[in-house]
């Protein structure tokens, strides 16, 4: 069984979770905006919720899905790999 088959359920769950969390934060931000300006119409409030929902969705996907994979590529896998990269760096410095 490959890694993709084992974690096939994670991607949809992460995306649904990010969407729900984005909606929650978008509603909270909209309520704060409405609290400071109660004369806004429902169209403007809906537009604010929609824009912040999309923005927060992409933020959460980046934070919880894309960024950890990017960090995992950058971090050394073991102490041996770290020592090898450090030695390679010091060897590349001018003497």
Position 22 scores a pLDDT of 93
**Given a cut of 60, is residue 61 above it in pLDDT?**
yes
Query: For the chain, how are helix, strand and coil distributed in percent, rounded to 5?
Result: 80, 0, 20
**Given a cut of 60, is residue 63 above it in pLDDT?**
yes
Full residue range of the structural domain in which residue 10 is found = 3-92
What is the tally of structural domains in the chain?
A: 1
Q: Convert the pLDDT of each residue in 18-35 to its tens digit.
A: 899 999 999 999 999 999
What pTM did the predictor assign? 0.64
Calpha distance 53→58 (Å, rounded): 9
Which parts of 1-95 are beta strand (E)? none
């Amino acid at each position: 069984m490959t890694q993709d088959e084992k974690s096939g359920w994670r991607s949809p769950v992460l995306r649904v979770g990010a969407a729900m969390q984005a909606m929650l934060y978008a509603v909270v931000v909209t309520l704060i905006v409405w609290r400071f300006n109660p004369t806004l119409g429902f169209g403007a409030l809906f537009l604010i919720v929609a824009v912040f929902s999309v923005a927060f969705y992409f933020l959460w996907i980046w934070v919880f899905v894309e960024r950890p994979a990017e960090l995992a590529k950058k971090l050394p896998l073991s102490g041996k790999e770290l020592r090898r990269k450090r030695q390679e760096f010091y060897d590349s410095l001018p003497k």
